[in-house]
Structures are given as structure tokens and as C-alpha cells.
């Protein structure tokens, strides 16, 4: 059975050759992720790796645009290395996509990574608290000043009472200026959580 699977996998790769990013992701494992993980604090955001590293770029790209399961798992491992060092976490909130982008893509890559991270049994992953209150232009298409305006008032909270007094982490995949995470944090702080920590998988 294993031989048959390998045969058809090989045949599929011949007919539909994997992309350069996909080939690179296939070579990576949890040991590699342990070496890539470098936590830094940048403008109030904890970043876990360097986006300039082609391995990280490939992982993020494959997760975001291809729904690559191996990328989800390895980025989840990267996040686990950081979460394991933290205390007093009640909720982990992935940065939400707009409804339009969610319909087009079919999944939120940050939420998929968070679901594959190893968290404390007392930590709850919530995708129903932080909401996109309006669609925004992709941040990668904008200059720094434009990014700040683009995400202003872009987030809302479904039920503020759920986060009052709670320790919260919000997660994004890539940080450039940090505008998205800071805008989300500002929205959450209106409901008096105990703490809000911003984390980006890469910077």
C-alpha cells in the first residue's frame, strides 16, 4: 500500500511539479524550526523569526496561499516554542480576515497555525471574539503611513464582557510596521482585559 502511495505521489509530482516554495517546505522539520526561532520585541510586538529567511517566507507563503498542512504544522511548532514560555494566558485570538477574503480563501491561515500549536489546557483559542468590522486593502500593497490609516477602526469585538479581566494574546503571521496588531490591540483594550500581548510569527 505504501509503495502504491509513493508511486502515485511521484506520478502526481511529475504531472504537477511542486513550486519552489513547496519543495523547500518539504525539506523542513521541527528541528529546523527550533533553529529558526528567535524571539525579539519590535515596537511592542514579539516576533518569532526573520521573514528575510527564505525558509520562513516559503512556510508563510505556502500556509497563506496554498493551505499547506506541513506549513501549518511547522508554523504551529514555531508558535508553540513561544507560548510555552508564557504564563497567564486565557485566550489566543488569531487576527481575523474580512468576510470577503475569508470567502475567497476558504480559511484563515493564522487560525489554522494557532490550532496546530501546543497550548496549555487552560488556554482557549477563540476565533469569535475579535472581528473585522470592515474590509481593508492588503497591507503589503501600502506604504507605512497608508497602513496606519488602512487598519484604523478595522476591528470590533463581538462581546466585550468575555475579555474583561482576561490575559489575551493576538497572533498575526507577518509584521511589517505592526499597524494591524496595534489596531487590534487598541480595540481589545477598550474592554478592560488584564493584558494584551501581540505576537507575529515573522518580521
Q: How confident is the model at residue 112 (pLDDT cuts 50, 70, 90)?
A: very high
pLDDT single digits (tens) 155-181: 999 999 999 999 999 999 999 889 999
Residue 179 cell numbers, joined:
499597524
Which sign, positive or negative, has the C-alpha torsion 49, 53, 59, 62?
positive
For 185, counting Cβ atoms within 10 Å of its Cβ (0-12 exposed, 13-18 middle, 19+ buried), the class is: buried
Distance CA 195, CA 126 (A): 16
Please give the average per-residue pLDDT across 18-37, as a whole number. 95
- The predicted model scores a pTM of 0.85
**47-77 pLDDT, tens per residue?**
999 999 999 999 999 999 999 999 999 999 9
User: Are residues 47 and 200 in contact, defined by beta-carbon separation less than 8 angstroms?
Assistant: yes
d(CA 79, CA 33): 10
Question: Pick the residue with more confidence: 66 or 15?
Answer: 66
Residue 162 φ/ψ, nearest 5 degrees: -70, -25
Amino acid at each position: 500500500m505504501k509503495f502504491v502511495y509513493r508511486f502515485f505521489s511521484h506520478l502526481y509530482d511529475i504531472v504537477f511539479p511542486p513550486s519552489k516554495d513547496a519543495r523547500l517546505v518539504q525539506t523542513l522539520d521541527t528541528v529546523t524550526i527550533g533553529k529558526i526561532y528567535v524571539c525579539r520585541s519590535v515596537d511592542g510586538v514579539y516576533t518569532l523569526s526573520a521573514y528575510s529567511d527564505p525558509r520562513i517566507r516559503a512556510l508563510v507563503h505556502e500556509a497563506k496561499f496554498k493551505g499547506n498542512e506541513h506549513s501549518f504544522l511547522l508554523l504551529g511548532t514555531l508558535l508553540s516554542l513561544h507560548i510555552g514560555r508564557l504564563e497567564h494566558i486565557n485566550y489566543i485570538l488569531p487576527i481575523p480576515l474580512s468576510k470577503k477574503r475569508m470567502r475567497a480563501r476558504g480559511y484563515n491561515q493564522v487560525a489554522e497555525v494557532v490550532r496546530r500549536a501546543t497550548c496549555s489546557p487552560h488556554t482557549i483559542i477563540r476565533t469569535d471574539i475579535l472581528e473585522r468590522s470592515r474590509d481593508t486593502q492588503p497591507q503589503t500593497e501600502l506604504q507605512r503611513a497608508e497602513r496606519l490609516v488602512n487598519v484604523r477602526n478595522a476591528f470590533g469585538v463581538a462581546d466585550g464582557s468575555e475579555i474583561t479581566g482576561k490575559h489575551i494574546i493576538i497572533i498575526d503571521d507577518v509584521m511589517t510596521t505592526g499597524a494591524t496588531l496595534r489596531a487590534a490591540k487598541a480595540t481589545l483594550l477598550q474592554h478592560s482585559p488584564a493584558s494584551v500581548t501581540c505576537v507575529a510569527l515573522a518580521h
